[in-house]
Amino acid sequence: MEPGDHLFRRESGRMIAALTRIFGVHNLALAEDVVQDAFCRALEVWRIRGIPENPSAWLMATAKNAALDVLRRQRTARAFAPELGRFLESEWTLAPVVEELFSTGVIKDDLLRMMFSCCHPQLQKAAQVPLILHILCGFSVGEVASAFVSTHAATEKRITRAKKVLARSQAVRHCRAGRFLGAPPSGPPGALLAVQRGLPRCVLRDGRTG
């Protein structure tokens, strides 16, 4: 791998996006756990065997299998994405649906969907861009803090609070019900402007040189 290649950073957002689409945004923490596990596994294998020819596909396959495991094990215990509920309940449809949700084109949509979720009006404005940078762009809390000239503790608090809102908010269900544009009109457009203003600066600076 070239030193400039940000594989883990790039893939973490894509994996989170695909997994939250399946699990529902309210299960963001579960999605993050699955991604962490997949990364741990990758590191354990790759550090000795070297990086495979298509590391992205390797990671995605690992995340996909982990998602299937979680869905099978916790099918009755947890509520996942409600609009997918019927398909995730039956073993006949489970694998094909998850397969489809991990296809490249769908993941692109998932990333956008998740970005809208992160801009939901119930989330503190000041938390929205940090949340996107952290969850979807794979920046660590420390990196986000330094991009916003803030402290690690304050940034962490902000992100944690926002995640809690996502985990319990009823209104956010607009987003996970597939109607990511269905949120109140005053919310996302304004927030998206903030994203447009805020994102490129950080991503370009730290994404390229970090």
Partner 1 sequence: MSEFTYLYRGGRDTPQSPEQRQRQLQKWAAWFKELGANGNLKELGHPLESAGMVVKGNQKIITDGPYAEAKDVVGGFSLIEADDLAHAVELSKGCPILEVGGSVEVRPIMQINM
Name, in order, each residue with C-beta under 8 angstroms of 84's C-beta and a sequence gap of 6 or more.
Answer: 22, 97
Contact residue for partner 1 among 24, 130, 138, 188 (CB under 8 A): 138
**Which candidate, 153, 113, 168, 154, places its Cα nearest to that of 135?**
113
Contact residue for partner 1 among 142, 182, 184, 189 (CB under 8 A): 142
Name, in order, each residue with C-beta under 8 angstroms of 131's C-beta and a sequence gap of 6 or more.
Answer: 118, 123, 159, 162, 163
148 binds partner 1 (CB under 8 A): no
CA 133 to chain centre: 10
3-state secondary structure of 137: coil
208 binds partner 1 (CB under 8 A): no
Contact residue for partner 1 among 22, 131, 143, 172 (CB under 8 A): 143
Q: Which CB, 11 or 176, lies closer to partner 1?
A: 11
* Residues contacting partner 1: total by CB under 8 A: 29
Cα separation of 69 and 136, whole Å?
23
210 binds partner 1 (CB under 8 A): yes
Q: Which residues within the stretch 21-40 sit at the binding site for partner 1 (CB under 8 A)?
A: 36, 39-40
* Binding residues for partner 1 (CB under 8 A): 1, 3, 5-9, 11-12, 36, 39-40, 42-51, 138-143, 210
